[in-house]
A and B are shown apart, each in its own frame.
Chain A
């Protein structure tokens, strides 16, 4: 039998209504606290989930998660504005390509004490401006902004998008040129992609861009290597992953024609190991591809 101190018992009896009141107060505070932290926590959870889906090439799921993260972040800033809440809101808006909203969120994060908020807001604003200029066909100005962002921005979502738009714009120019002018444009685009992949070796997307440029230069060996790196490191969406796979197949076909028989034998041996690892149906048939007819 438990021993209960008579004094404690007496105090306990006397404190009964107080305890009840304290319990109610505690529950109220807990509910209030949890409702406050839960929006931020939920926003973080959905944001992380969105990133996870992005890494798994599940674009639509990622979008759904980012939208839910934004809803939660909006609740949080309306109830308890803080630098963290605004920063998370801005990051989510970036993922959803809501440039102006993201810029505003980073500015507000700065005003709540997030040091880099102002710098990020400026970069997002510049990116939004470049995208608008591109839509208005003012391509040279937008290209200059992309170069500036690639060189100066330390904010990876901005750098990645600027790199993509810059590469696309350079390839578009190169397609309409011939000879030395074309080579110059491609060399410049390649140098930028090389610099980006050297600075961030783990970003598969930079390797994908590099592989695409090298393909224009008909350097299929290096284009293959870059596409391989991109596949191994991961790509942001299912369609880019598939496009990269088709680039691998294309390089394989070109190298078959280009390499000497000994070089081809060596290459093919290594290539088939990758094919096995990726569980492809054959050297020219990625696992997701339908059987060709005719």
Chain B
């Protein structure tokens, strides 16, 4: 079956990133997803610092939500409720507040970078793994991106990727579907690379 323009564009984006980050394939989806998110939001002006991302909403402020807001965040989402049932039942706010600080930017505010960074855990519903690995994984991503020497090359590459994606009139397709296509192609790429 011939490849669609979307698949071809995503593959060229992956091919570009694999040259820049040959060993950090975990960054492909967050970077491409964040590029796509911002590109769709503003098709006229490309933001130059796609990777100047941050954890959405000051983490300190996330910790300041009222207990009831936090409880409601967990109990309104059936998957979360199942996962954190013991803490919800005991109203263990210290533990729930800690988990909330990590999960709210991803599941509540839907940060495009972070939700892609924890895409696999989200798909498998392993929210405890997100909580456990959040700090370490986010710090690692920040370190890997900031240590890249040729940052302008990365910006140019992501800019080209975003430009091509926007030209495909992706606003007509659901963003979730596009994200699935990107994630699938990245998985295939990583599998074939690992033999």
Which residues of A are at the interface with B, using a C-beta cutoff of 8 A? 53, 56, 58, 60-61, 63-64, 168, 171-172, 175, 212, 215-216, 218, 239-240, 242-243, 246, 250, 253-254, 288-294
Q: Which of B38, B65, B79, B105 contacts A294 (CB 8 A)?
A: B79
In the complex, A240 Cα to B111 Cα: how many Å? 12
In the complex, A63 Cα to B46 Cα: how many Å? 12
Give the dominant DSSP class at B's interface: loop
Q: Which of B64, B78, B110 contacts A289 (CB 8 A)?
A: B110
Q: Which of A60, A243, A253 contacts B38 (CB 8 A)?
A: A60
Q: A-B pairs with the 4 shortest C-beta distances?
A: A294-B79, A60-B47, A239-B56, A171-B64
Is B45 in contact with chain A by the CB < 8 A criterion? yes
Decide: A64 and B49 in contact? CB cutoff 8 A.
yes
A residues near B45, Cβ cutoff 8 Å: 53, 58, 61
Q: Which of A58, A60, A250, A291 contacts B69 (CB 8 A)?
A: A250
B residues 71-109 in Cβ contact with A at 8 Å: 72, 76-79, 82, 105, 108-109
Q: Which residue of B lies closest to A293 (CB)?
A: B79
In the complex, A171 Cα to B62 Cα: how many Å? 11
Interface size on B, residues (CB 8 A): 33
Question: Closest Cβ of chain B: how far from A178's Cβ, in Å?
Answer: 11
In the complex, A216 Cα to B69 Cα: how many Å? 9
In the complex, A254 Cα to B71 Cα: how many Å? 12
Is B4 in contact with chain A by the CB < 8 A criterion? no
Q: Which of A246, A253, A294 contacts B108 (CB 8 A)?
A: A246
Question: Closest Cβ of chain B: how far from A22's Cβ, in Å?
Answer: 42
In the complex, A289 Cα to B109 Cα: how many Å? 8
In the complex, A60 Cα to B45 Cα: how many Å? 11
> With A239-B111, A242-B110, A293-B79 in contact, is A172–B64 under 8 Å at CB?
yes
> With A63-B49, A240-B57, A253-B76 in contact, is A58–B66 under 8 Å at CB?
no
Question: Closest Cβ of chain A: how far from B110's Cβ, in Å?
Answer: 6
In the complex, A25 Cα to B65 Cα: how many Å? 66
Decide: B110 and A168 in contact? CB cutoff 8 A.
no
A residues near B193, Cβ cutoff 8 Å: none
- B54-67, CB under 8 A of A: which get 1 and which 0? 00111011011110
Q: Which of A53, A171, A239 contacts B109 (CB 8 A)?
A: A239
Decide: B69 and A290 in contact? CB cutoff 8 A.
no
Is B186 in contact with chain A by the CB < 8 A criterion? no
> With A58-B41, A216-B66, A218-B68 in contact, is A291–B52 under 8 Å at CB?
no
Is B142 in contact with chain A by the CB < 8 A criterion? no
Subset of 28 A-B contacts with CB under 8 Å: A53-B45, A58-B41, A58-B42, A58-B45, A58-B47, A60-B50, A61-B42, A63-B49, A168-B60, A171-B64, A172-B64, A175-B64, A215-B65, A239-B109, A240-B57, A242-B56, A242-B109, A242-B110, A243-B109, A253-B76, A254-B68, A254-B72, A289-B110, A290-B110, A291-B176, A292-B77, A293-B79, A294-B77
